[in-house]
């Protein structure tokens, strides 16, 4: 491997396992070295030419850069939420990352999209989910997924929709029962007959 070569740096921080022999200053940039360590660390944003005894480990810088740029959640979703049916429900997930992050929300594995009537909408660059007039079908696992070219991250929350006894009955199999008026005897008479039979037990 070639030794004693010039390497160009353009970074706020760089680190090398090789002993830094000399540094040529450029644009009046000052560098501070930790003499107690075998690794010499130079900091402060500047373009400089460094004369080293070996190759500079650019991999360390690249890994550190990816860690800063990949999506990272700073305000996670609550583990569980219980909201009454008919109410408005909001979920906010804040995160960092660059460049542009693609964000999607899922309900029980199905992609959520904004509705024309505004019942389901997104705000704050897709980071805020708003569901108005909650329905029993909105209950389940809600997943937040963000991705860019450096990585991806997910966060989930369980939504429980609370219903009254009347609403529970309306969404039960008994609530879906309907009478056929074309049959004889008339529906109301059939219903009364069934109730009388139940009382006899």
pTM recorded for the entire structure: 0.55
Q: Is residue 171 part of a domain?
A: no
Instruction: Say if CB 171 and CB 178 are below 8 A apart.
Output: no
Confidence band, pLDDT 50/70/90 cuts, at residue 49: very low
Q: How many domains does the chain have?
A: 1
Is residue 185 domain-resident?
no
Paired sense of beta strands 80-84 and 151-162, if any: parallel
User: What CATH number does residue 105 fall under?
Assistant: 2.60.40.10
**pLDDT single digits (tens) 23-45:** 444 334 444 434 444 344 433 33
Which pLDDT band, with edges at 50, 70 and 90, does 4 fall under?
Answer: very low
Tell me, yes or no, whether 68 lies in a domain: no
In a domain, 17, yes or no: no
Per DSSP, the three-state class of 69 is: helix
Instruction: Assess if residue 122 is contained within a domain.
Output: yes
Give the residue carrying structure tokens 């992050």. 101
* pLDDT single digits (tens) 134-159: 999 999 999 999 999 999 999 999 99
């Amino acid at each position: 491997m070639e030794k004693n070569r010039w390497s160009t740096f353009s970074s706020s921080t760089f680190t090398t396992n090789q002993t830094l022999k000399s540094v040529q200053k450029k644009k009046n940039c000052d560098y501070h070295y930790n003499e107690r360590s075998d690794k010499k660390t130079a900091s402060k944003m500047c373009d400089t030419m460094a004369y080293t005894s070996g190759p500079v480990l650019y991999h360390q810088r690249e890994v550190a850069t990816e860690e800063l740029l990949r999506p990272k959640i700073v305000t996670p979703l609550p583990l569980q939420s219980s909201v009454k049916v008919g109410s408005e429900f909001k979920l906010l997930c804040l995160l960092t990352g660059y460049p542009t992050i693609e964000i999607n929300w899922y309900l029980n594995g199905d992609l959520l999209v904004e509705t024309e009537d505004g019942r389901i909408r997104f705000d704050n660059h897709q980071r805020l989910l708003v569901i108005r007039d909650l329905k029993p079908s909105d209950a389940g696992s809600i997943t937040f997924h963000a991705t860019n070219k450096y990585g991806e991250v997910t966060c989930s929350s369980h939504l429980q929709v609370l219903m009254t006894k009347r609403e529970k009955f309306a969404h039960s199999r008994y609530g879906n029962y309907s009478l056929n008026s074309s049959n004889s005897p008339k529906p109301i008479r059939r219903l009364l007959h069934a109730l009388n039979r139940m009382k006899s037990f």
